A = this chain, B = another copy of it.
């Protein structure tokens, strides 16, 4: 073993590694936006749908189901009429939040630089 061998047994660079599949799962705008929308507080489905504009019902439902299955979001059903469903970050989901918020903040803070780079690139002969 080389001295540079990582302690981490999982490596997202490797196509067969489970961490690659998870990295793919969390590298997804709907995952990022959903986790970000839950950053402060629990939210109802309808609130999430209003916050994340442009998300289809099918996509939001599927994203929430995957996040619940992966242990990142918990779902609480209150048996009122009509039934009330709240979503909340779990501790595990909360631990992913810094990465997601950094990524989202980067996009919001650097879009003008990226647009300038695109203009330069497209103006090349």
Which B residues are CB-close (under 8 A) to A106?
26, 95-96, 99
A53, B103: Cβ atoms closer than 8 Å: no
* Contact flag A111-B51 (CB < 8 Å), given A96-B106, A106-B99, A121-B68: no
Which B residues are CB-close (under 8 A) to A37?
13
Count the copies.
Answer: 2
The reply on A54 being an interface residue by CB < 8 A is yes
Question: Interface on A for B, CB 8 Å cutoff?
Answer: 8, 10-16, 18-20, 22-24, 26-29, 31-33, 36-37, 51-54, 68-72, 92, 95-96, 98-100, 102-104, 106-111, 113-118, 120-122
Q: Can you give 8 A-B contacts (C-beta < 8 A)? A: A13-B51, A15-B54, A16-B53, A26-B106, A27-B32, A71-B120, A95-B106, A95-B110
